[in-house]
Structure 1
Amino acid sequence: MKPQNMSSRKVILLFPEAADIIKNRHYVDDAMFSTDTPEHAIRLAREVSQVHSAGGFEIRNWVSNSQQVLSALKEGSMTEKNMDLTTGPMATEKVLGMCWCTKSDEFIYKIGWNRFNPDLLNGCRRITKRQMLQILMTIFDPLGLISHFLMYLKVLLQEVWRAGIQWDEQISDPLHEKNFLSWINSDHRRYSTFVAFRVSEILDATEAADWHWVPSKQNVADDGTKWETQPDLSSKSRWFRGPDFLYRSEAEWPKSSSKSMRTDNELRSSLMIHHLSPDSVINVADFSSWKRLNNVVAYVHRFIENCRRRRTKQSIESGPLSREELYASEGFLFRLAQREGYNEEVVLLTANCKNTSDNVLPKSSRLYKLLPRLDERGVMRMRSRIAACQYATEDAKSPVILPNDEESGTDRERH
């Protein structure tokens, strides 16, 4: 190990750039690097070859977009070398799955269309969700150079998925047209602001019954955007005359095969909380002190518990109030006050009771900066800076949060 380590250190000292290429820019059996000048590339290539040769490894082929580099490295043929995935006279080898045309210095993306049914490619057969995904996954783009084109297919595949179409089910209708018909035939207020506003404008000037579905092959709008050859824009073309079915009776117009006029695309996210706030059964203004209030509530709770015990023929409680009874009564009063003053915060904390580390309240909440949490009694407490102090009491570490008189709507003696 020692001689090898010494050799590695020597290589780094003598050929630092070559060592970096060997260490960080080798991918399996290929090395890839770029430089600003042909002279720099020639020097680095010779250094990399020298280092490999010293270790018993021979570099066989060099490919470059510069004829000067290839000549200096004595690569032989000066013709174009095309790193292509396909076979043929110009194919040499695969480099990270990319096709690089060295003559034009361009990356080329090719799809093996021979894998797919010819009827699918010429439009005689509708595509399925499985085939859409297969086409998308055959395009290898590790650098994301054509992601702005692939994005459209990904968005379309996403809409197919949302529409609930099965893997081998043919996509019969254009999804955007189906979504539009669904939007104008339902309550547009259920959808996002953009969709709701546009649909509202359309329905102000037209009726939902005025809109009909048009198959893709008869959609004249596609002639201006989706074509492989020059479109026919003569005065007699359908671009100016419209589709042929418009000249027939409305009964012969195309009919949508869609079974449902509902869609979840662009559906507005909403949360409905139904809360009833009955009048408080306890008027704290009738009590002269917190101790008296707590004792009365504790006796009421004891009476309720004794009624339950009598039904099951259990022994009942009597005598002075216990510490546990007073503690339970105190928790009840705290929860009652917090529900009156901070009901929304209590609801959110209760729904996320398992999340004890993050602040689940929105920043608009009055209690957001207090980092509230619920204790074992369901009482809301704030998180203080002395929580790690082992000598402080629980009330000092995490004080109970109580609303003021305006927030609770009652007069309360502070505790």
Structure 2
Amino acid sequence: MRKSNNFCDASQQAYGAVSYLRITSGDGAHSTSFVCGRAKLAPLKQQTIPRLELCAAVLAAKADKQLRDELELQIDRSVFWTDSMVTLQYTRNTERRFHTFVANRIETIHENSYAEQWRHVSSTQNPADDASRGLHGTELNKDCRWIQGPPFLLLGENNCPKNPKTISNLADGDPEVKGDANVLATGTDQGESTLKGLSAWYSSWHRLLKGVAWLRRFIQWRFSYPKEERHQRDRLKNCELDEARLAVLRLIQREGFPHEMDALERGHSIRTGDVSRLEPYLAADGLIRRYIRPGLATQDASTL
């Protein structure tokens, strides 16, 4: 059995990821080897640690995809390790909506991995810590942790670090989570009837999106903007039309796949029905998308 183990970590100075291939022989013996590692300096514009940890997770997800594409050996299983509980919360989230920076990176992670593949490892056992904190040249030798990997890779599965039994939900005050005022409700009867009423008024898809976008802007002005800015009447921006499009598509999917949407929002997998063969998952933007296995297609996961 060949298993890819991908570790990631970040600090205010840098973030990185490192991958090891563990091969288990027929008699149960394990051997591991360093495959690739990558580190990047943190952006000059200071970012929060959770954002940098998410950037490191993207590196790990892309590294695993590259291994599957480039290695001639077949990889039977992939595991991703992080010492950031916030990253695990982000990757497992099915209810909250995030701002663009976080949402885009979660989308990339979901395109290349499942949430169940992500595990927690302590900082003392995380070799990617050497990429984020840095190593002196004299420490970088064949016996160092960066090259050899953590000792538990050579042990049985029962000796590997375990995730906490329960991973807490994101805090209500998390700065990356969009407030309710920024999202047009599409999961309630009131939200559904509102969009249905709008669709009856407009004769084209583009006009419908403009109507929804103006309504969303009004909600933002009503709850978020200072009073002196409420008089602004700028033209709609492309990003506002994009958000309106997502709101409408979420409603359409909720009407077309009500049971699937409910199951995915609860964190369950779809294993029965016609949709199950597409391996659907709930993306960071709230849409049901089909999973495209790494190496089998180059296109992005598409919306159902």
- The TM-score bracket by the shorter chain reads 0.3 to 0.5
Q: TM-score, normalised by structure 2?
A: 0.34
Structure with greater contact order relative to length (CA < 8 Å, sep ≥ 6): 2
TM-score if structure 1 supplies the norm length? 0.26
**Greater strand proportion:** 2
Kindly name which structure, 1 or 2, has the bigger radius of gyration based on alpha carbons: 1
